[in-house]
Homo-oligomer: A and B are copies of this chain.
Amino acid sequence: MERTNDHRQPPLGKIARLYYEHGLTHQEIADLCGLSRIKVTRLLAEARRVGIVEITVHSDDHLFVGLESALGRAYPLRQAWVGPTFEDEARAAHSLGAVAAECVSALLEDRATVAVGLSASVATIPRHLRPGAARDVNFVPLTGSGGGISRAASSHELALAFAAGAGGHAYHLPAPLLARTPQAAQVWREDPAVQETLERAVSADVLVAGIGGRTGLLVENLSASDLAATRGRGAVGDISGRFFDANGAAVPCEVDDRLIGLSLAQLRAVPVRIGVARGAAKLQALRVALSQGLINVLVTDSSTAEGLLAAAGADAPAGAPASAEASS
């Protein structure tokens, strides 16, 4: 008889409610609102993207309890969080971000200070954060922002994203990640604003960082010569731009001098050190970081977890058997 709603695009909320609360199909909504089915599909995706539709799972079940406790036995960890493994890089990143967000939320306390490292893995976390886990949380960058690393999100934006997601306050470290020269870096370090933020980071309660191995945001953005220099000195990985060798000892090098951020020793001062990383290329670095206590909370995926467990069992130094695939 009558057309209830004509052509003008109906609000997302209406579409979303017809779908999720009233159980109409995309096609039925399309007919009702005078849209194409595809359009409805897209509007619904949009509604989820912007958060009009929120799907909550009321459960604190861990996904891979077995792997998590095995990791806790094999390495000196406070906690391990393991998520599913994916072939597809985009899905893997998304999923790991979700696990890491949950881990971070679980470790947040009111008025805590969280130091945030610059890393691709860490950058996937904020979108999964929800306010409410804790109040008055402060997010502080662990290093300077961007300069020297091109397309990467800056650590400043990262801290802001964390604050926006979890609710809280973000601090700014007004310096580049890498200065052109050691001397320039020193000038930055002497800036009062930089010092203040770095001090805040040193005294943080929680630290969240990625781990660089044969791949990683930093490694991929260093010049070949810089990289070769660190490798030459035995570096197997880095945390927030600080390279370490197979014994977990800091590897001093020129990059180190140009970097504005916490030292490995300073990182260790943070009581809760969350490391987020996955993939075969990071196994060796992860194994060192874990066994040497550089990080004491691990977020990774199941296949990396299995690799770490295999390595812990074998405990062979360098030249590792990198291919241990398994799902089940």
Contact = CB atoms under 8 A, between A and B. Distances in A.
Nearest to A66: B4
Interface string A1-33: 111111011111110111011111000100110
Interface in A276-328: 302, 306, 309-310, 313, 322-328
Nearest to A68: B4
A9 B165 CA distance: 34
Contacts of A14: 59, 61-63
Interface string A41-70: 000000100011111111111111111000
A174 interface: no
Contacts of A84: 18, 22, 24, 28, 32
Interface stretch (A90-98, A154-162, A236-244, A263-271): A90-98
A191 to B, nearest CB: 41
Interface residues of A, number: 62
A299 to B, nearest CB: 13
A83 interface: yes
B52 A54 contact: no
Interface in A132-164: none
Report the copy number of this chain in the oligomer.
2
Contact of A21 (B6, B98, B322): B98
Given A17-B57, A327-B32, A328-B32, A302 B52 contact: no
A23 B91 contact: yes
A322 to B, nearest CB: 8
A210 to B, nearest CB: 19
Nearest to A303: B1
Given A22-B98, A32-B84, A328 B52 contact: no
A80 to B, nearest CB: 13
A57 B91 contact: no
Contact of A53 (B3, B57, B325, B326): B57
Closest 3 CB pairs of A and B: A13-B59, A13-B61, A22-B95
14 contacts: A2-B67, A2-B306, A2-B309, A2-B322, A2-B326, A3-B328, A11-B59, A13-B57, A16-B57, A17-B61, A22-B83, A23-B91, A32-B84, A47-B57
